[in-house]
Chain A
Amino acid sequence: DIVMTQSPDSLAVSLGERATINCRSSQSVLYSSDNKNYLAWYQQKPGQPPKLLIYWASTRESGVPNRFSGSGSGTDFTLTISSLQAEDVAVYYCHQYYSTPRSFGQGTKLEIK
């Protein structure tokens, strides 16, 4: 089973500043046959279901602001918010869909400093 580990567990960033969340998988989620990383990022606000932000590690879902970006390959990934807005306060999860059982990181709580 693939274990997903995020860092940090919580993060406080000033408005307009950059926020960076890291995610590491216990084994590679890069599928050699299509050269795609089976890694997604979700945003969850209180009382709401998760919302898809990024898939294939770096492709933004339609409608997601371009201040959100994803990078990385293999086992190490990063979600970056280039200029933090108040509405970005949420918990962020990485998720591997490379294999079953699927798994999520433990979440990173992002707050305003």
Chain B
Amino acid sequence: DGGITQSPKYLFRKEGQNVTLSCEQNLNHDAMYWYRQDPGQGLRLIYYSQIVNDFQKGDIAEGYSVSREKKESFPLTVTSAQKNPTAFYLCASRPGLKSRAYEQYFGPGTRLTVT
């Protein structure tokens, strides 16, 4: 079945360690996105990518990094510079750049806890 996969579902790390969250899609979508969700908050955009080897900062990019080496994959690294990394992270994708389908489709999310 086509969809977006995020792994793992739950992730625990010690403070000061970098951690990479996986996002894979087999929907043949061009655009991919990373969001952060905190309790009682909406989703905030971290990074997005329109095409392979290209990505842009979203609203809260500080302390995060991404890569887009393959169309299917858009991993997010939470670095030690991110002051409050504990959150629920959601990956999303969207059909082709010329598509009129503006809705984004989301993966199941990764809940990261840093202690």
Q: Do A and B bind each other?
A: no
* A residues in contact (CB < 8 Å) with B: none
* B residues in contact (CB < 8 Å) with A: none
